[in-house]
Chain A
Amino acid sequence: MKSALYASAAVIALAAIGTTSAFAQSRDTIQIAGSSTVLPFASIVAEEFGAAFPEFKTPVVGSGGTGGGLKQFCAGVGAETIDIANASRPIKTAEREACTTAGVTDIREIQFGYDGIVFASAAAGPDFALTPLQIYKAIAANVVVDGAFVPNPYTKWSEIDASLPDQTIALAIPGSNHGTREVFQEKVVTAGCEEAGLPEGHPDDACTALRQDVVIEIAGDYTETLARLTSNKDTVGVFGLSFYEQNKDTLKVATINGVVPSNESVIAGEYPVSRPLFFYVKGQHIGTIPGIEEYVQFFLSEGIAGNGGTLEAAGLIPQAPEKTAEVLAAFEAGASQ
């Protein structure tokens, strides 16, 4: 028993030494976190990168949403902070300030393609042909009815517009931790709100206040949204285009302004609810953590993010090669945008 005691004491001492030696240890794996929309793309690139470059380890990709990722990114400089933050929206001024305060001054923005946001409902249900105005009317806390600004009276889609199905309004939208939420707010709700022509003297939050009885905010990923649709067949959910394409057998997509969301309609600029996707690179880590530059170049290469590349097969909408060349040139020049 005595020897067991000594052994355990030795183990504790060893563990303590292991802990202290870890202080000095620098990392040789690129660490990435952020948007769950970008996650599948970044994971695929990470895997391919590990396979194509035998001298580098496969980068590790975490999620946590755009906001969560940028928060980790802006925590400081050093091996215990992440090198790349995935984002489904551009970095905000406040986030940039937080970064600067923590010493992260060299932030390089990489835009690598587009993603569409679709409205989808259960495949067995009726078809939806929506417009931003109709969606706004369905979910705003207060709407204009006969010139008066009143609490939202609609309970069914058909009450908003006769062309819509006679179905109870229920909309599952991404929570505020998702970058998708902002695009939804900007491209759908705000657009619909402006079209609605609010009366003079309406409250400031008229465009942003949503009614909580029909709107379900989803903090998790699209699988959770899908589960909502399965439990309540009347729900219309907000998904990424790529997620919808993987689950076409259970989902039916709604047209927006009469346009069917697809890679083609997003690239052509016809489909209104799309957004560019980004990742942010901590310039100060280039040279310290091996492989960051190669990762960025590999990500933006024709075979990966380009037309017909690996990511397009996974649902990314590629951007014009000129834009990619411009982004890559800015990255290589070290321009902190």
Chain B
Amino acid sequence: MTDTLSTTTNASAERTKLIRAGLRKRHLTEAIFKGFGLGAIVLALGFVALLFADVLSKGIPAFTQSNLHLSVTYDPETIGVDPAPVRTAGQSDADFRAANLKWQRDVALLNWNKVVEASLRAAAPAGFEIDSRQILTIAETNARHQIRDMFVADPTLLGKTIEVDVLASANADNWVKGNIDRNLGDAQQQLSAPARNLIDTFEANGTISSGFAWSIFTNVDSRAAPAAAGLAGAFMGSLYMMLVVILLAVPIGVASAIYLEEFAPKSRLTDLIEVNINNLAAVPSIVFGLLGAAVFINYLHLPLSAPLVGGLVLTLMTLPTIIIATRGALQGVSPALRQAALGMGASKTQMVFHHVLPVTLPSILTATIIGVAQAMGETAPLLLIGMNAFVASVPATPLDQATALPVQIFLWQGNENRNFFEARTSAAIIVLLGFMILLNAIAIFLRTRLEKRA
């Protein structure tokens, strides 16, 4: 009895030992796998963190900008122009407009740099020696347009002195921010020695101060006045393209997915279509750009550089993504739902639109937003339809010339004023990333809300 008992105990102890050993091995495998997974995530996050750290550290300084506070005197001596035309009785609309246009042209052709120079000299210490060319390098070149526009808007300013904030030039901004090594010799500096001294004086007496660079958001791109270059035009261009993509790609994509999945007979032809759609999703975007240039520009004669054309090209690019995602979502709906609907006497159309589609809506929405976000970040196809042009106006309609945010990043990256535009490029990347994060956040928010409701 005791013998048998001890044998059993022995056997069980043996088994436990065996199990323990096996268990340890299994735990070890699991730990190793977990370790690998964690390592992969840490690596991926590390790269993302590196990217963000690089972009943020370079780009954030660009959100502040040096401004000059000047007292501008509209001296009648310098501004030798007739008073603005006043509408006389009996003058026709056209005549008045022509007279006004002529006056504006006269005002535009005045040398407003003289006014800018006088204001800068007024702010400089008495007797500071600097020639007019050097002193003008401190203020951005758009200062004269700004001062002129104020005069055109209010011609009574003639003879008055007002306080105006103008942008410091890109090179002055570089100097203030220390983007340029201050110890470099004169030959290696973009600004002359007197100009650099004057900037330091201005900084000390408060004429130059830093402020938030609203111009990045409110201004359009500028070559003549780099410090005034902004993203407004590119942002609107991207927005118009996004609208076109949403209006075209979503209905067409969802409709074709529903047809292919629910109505189309399974035949060799639909198989072929499916294979082709999957292939299209993998086609490099530049190919869609070539197609767009050939079809929309050369054949349909749509305007160059227009967000409409950009949107059409991106629609072609996004369509396969949306079709594939929608089909996937439809396939995921349980057959019980379909059969129940059909069993209750619903027609196929009713089954699809009343029962299947509402369930899949969250996934379709997410796929759409992610597809659109991807399209927004696309640059290559836009280069081929003329959207990599320098456009200095905000597009009013999708048919006006425009650039897009990623293209603007590309253009700024190539600007010759490296010291200034390196930061601006990163700032533009931050804006684009922010836009993307917003879109993705909306996608996640909508999905969780709709899923809860369903």
Interface string of A35-47 (1 = CB under 8 A from B): 0100110111011
Contacts of A243 in B (CB 8 A): 416
Q: Which of A22-30, A176-184, A325-333 lies on the face that meets chain B? A: A22-30
Q: How far is the CA of A18 from the CA of B397 in the complex (A)?
A: 11
Docked-complex contact B301 and A80, CB < 8 angstroms: yes
Q: How far is the CA of A9 from the CA of B250 in the complex (A)?
A: 11
Is B161 an interface position by the 8 A CB rule? no
Residues of A in contact with B (beta carbons under 8 Å apart): 1-2, 5, 8-9, 11-12, 15, 18-19, 22-23, 25, 27, 29, 31-33, 36, 39-40, 42-44, 46-48, 50-55, 57-58, 60-63, 75, 78-80, 82, 123, 220-224, 226, 242-243, 245-250, 303, 308, 310, 313-314
Docked-complex contact B392 and A50, CB < 8 angstroms: yes
Interface string of B437-449 (1 = CB under 8 A from A): 0000000000000
Interface string of B25-53 (1 = CB under 8 A from A): 00000000000000000000000000000
- Chain B residues 388-407 with CB under 8 Å of chain A are 388-393, 399-401
Q: Which of B100-108, B201-209, B272-280, B372-380 lies on the face that meets chain A? A: B100-108
Contacts of A220 in B (CB 8 A): 414
Q: How far is the CA of A246 from the CA of B417 in the complex (A)?
A: 6
7 contacts between A and B (CB under 8 A): A1-B358, A18-B308, A40-B416, A53-B108, A60-B389, A80-B297, A80-B301
Q: How far is the CA of A248 from the CA of B308 in the complex (A)?
A: 41
Docked-complex contact A44 and B224, CB < 8 angstroms: yes
Q: How far is the CB of B188 from chain A (nearest CB, A)?
A: 5
Is B300 an interface position by the 8 A CB rule? yes
Q: How far is the CA of A62 from the CA of B385 in the complex (A)?
A: 10
Is B247 an interface position by the 8 A CB rule? yes
Residues of B in contact with A (beta carbons under 8 Å apart): 101, 104-105, 108-109, 111, 133, 141, 145, 180-181, 184, 187-190, 222-225, 244, 247-248, 250-252, 255, 297-298, 300-305, 308, 353-354, 357-358, 386, 388-393, 399-401, 413-419
Q: How far is the CB of A78 from chain B (nearest CB, A)?
A: 7
A52-B109, A80-B297 given; A61·B390 CB < 8 A? yes
Q: How far is the CA of A46 from the CA of B298 in the complex (A)?
A: 25
A54-B108, A249-B190 given; A40·B392 CB < 8 A? no
Docked-complex contact A31 and B304, CB < 8 angstroms: yes
Select from chain B the residue with minimum beta-carbon distance to A8. Answer: B251
Contact of A19 among B145, B224, B302, B357 (CB under 8 A): B302
A80-B297, A80-B304, A247-B418 given; A31·B190 CB < 8 A? no
Q: A220-B414, A223-B413 are in contact. List 7 more A-B contacts (CB 8 A).
A: A8-B251, A12-B251, A25-B399, A40-B416, A80-B302, A80-B304, A308-B133
Docked-complex contact A43 and B303, CB < 8 angstroms: no
Docked-complex contact A222 and B390, CB < 8 angstroms: no
Contact of B188 among A33, A39, A249 (CB under 8 A): A249
Contacts of A242 in B (CB 8 A): 416
